Amino acid sequence: MKYALVTGSSRGIGKAIAIRLAKMGYPVLINYLKNKEAAEEVVATIIANGGQAELMPFNAADGKAIEAALDAWESAHPDDYIAVLVNNAGIRKDNVLFMMSDEEWHEVLDTTLNGYFYLTRRLLKHMMPRRRGGRIVNMASLSGVKGLAGQSNYSAAKAALIGATKALAQEVAPRQITVNAVAPGFIETDMTKDLPQEELKKLVPVGRFGTAEEVAAAVAFLVSDEAAYITGEVININGGLYT
């Protein structure tokens, strides 16, 4: 069977993506780091709606933890492989650069950028043989497209992810693997709940924050057969804030 793995899928955008992919018929691996209860709720929601899902906990910033989790899963699923990977895990540690600590810089880049590297490298070895094909979607951000003050670390990680997306797309296209990025703007999630929404909405041409489900819809399209000729692209979902 072809599985889908969504990192950071216990809440927010990752949760919406996991639920949407399950509706498309994929058995979904729900990744989380700390909030097991929330991850179990996502699994329960998917199963209640007729889908298949299971937990796959690991720290996306830890290459050894990723290897261990995938070794265990592959041993238990010898006839299956992960055909869809959504690199969604990410954290924010906002600060102006001259006050930013080493930890704030490295933790953000480790989760977003190193997590992409460790996990994608490992899964490609199962997507590439015998032209099996696959879909990789990387969750970028408005911050990585235009940069945002106070987010030098986050903007750097997401911009690097966009560059990696474009490079990898060219490497694996002959193997029928597509690699794209989605760059959300202001989306209503736990990650944005501490932002001054009413002020920020005034900056968005459509006058509101987006929803996680709107982002999930774009990911679902990029994963579908209809998007087989789309690769190396960045889909901006920002209500016209930056075009």
E strands, 31-174, are 53-55, 81-87, 134-139
Which residues does residue 236 pair with via DSSP β-bridges, in sequence order? Answer: 183
Query: Residues 1, 53: contact at Cβ < 8 Å?
Result: no
Burial of 166 per CB tally in 10 Å (0-12, 13-18, 19+)? middle
How far from chain centre, in Å, is Cα 243? 21
Q: Which of 26, 81, 154, 229 is catalytic?
A: 154
Written in H, E and C, the secondary structure of 21-52 is HHHCCCCEEECCCCCHHHHHHHHHHHHHCCCC
**Cα distances (Å, whole numbers) of residue 216 to 16, 61, 189, 191, 226:** 6, 23, 13, 16, 16
Query: Interior CA angle at 59 toward 55 and 61, to 5°?
Result: 145
| Annotation says 154 is catalytic | yes
Positions marked catalytic: 154
